[in-house]
Homo-oligomer: A and B are copies of this chain.
Amino acid sequence: MTSRFDRLSLLDTFVRVAERRSLSAAARDLDVSQPSVSRQLAALEARLGVVLMRRTTHDVTLTPDGLDLLADARRLIGEWEAIEERTAEGGTLAGRVRVIAPVALGQSLLVNGTARFMKQHPDVTVDWQLRDDPIRFAEEGCDCWLKVGPVPDDTLVVRELARVERLVVGAPESLPETGDVDLAALPWVTLGPFEGNRIELFNREGVATVFSVSPRMASDNIFAVQQAVRQGVGVAILPRWFVASALDNGMLVDVAPDWRAARLPVNLALAAGARRPARVEAFAEYIAAWCGDRLG
Known: A49-B87, A155-B274, A272-B274. A75 touches B79 (CB 8 A): yes
Per DSSP, are chain A's interface residues mostly helix, strand or loop, or mixed?
Answer: helix
Chain A 84-106, CB-CB to B under 8 Å as 1, else 0, gives 10111000000000000000000
Tell me whether A87 and B75 are in contact in the complex, defined as CB-CB below 8 angstroms, given that A8-B8, A272-B274 are known contacts.
no
Cross-chain contact B275 with A72 (CB below 8 angstroms): yes
With contact pairs A8-B7, A273-B274, A274-B272 given, residues A80 and B76 touching in the complex (Cβ less than 8 Å): yes
In Å, the complex CA distance between A76 and B76 comes to 7
Residues of B within 8 A of A115 (CB): none
How many monomers of this protein are in the complex? Answer: 2
Complex interface bits, A259-296 against B, C-beta within 8 A gives 1, otherwise 0: 00000000000011111000000000000000000000
With contact pairs A6-B4, A76-B80 given, residues A50 and B87 touching in the complex (Cβ less than 8 Å)? yes
Residues of B within 8 A of A274 (CB): 72, 75, 155, 271-274
- For window 2-48 of A, CB contacts with B under 8 Å fall at 4-9, 47-48
- Asked whether A65 is an interface residue with its Cβ less than 8 Å from the other chain, the reply is yes
Per-residue interface assignment for chain A, residues 69 to 85, with 1 indicating a CB less than 8 Å from any chain B CB and 0 otherwise: 10011011001101110
A sample of 6 inter-chain contacts (CB < 8 A) reads: A8-B8, A50-B88, A68-B87, A76-B80, A272-B274, A274-B274
Tell me the A residues contacting B by CB distance below 8 Å.
4-9, 47-50, 65, 68-69, 72-73, 75-76, 79-80, 82-84, 86-88, 155, 271-275
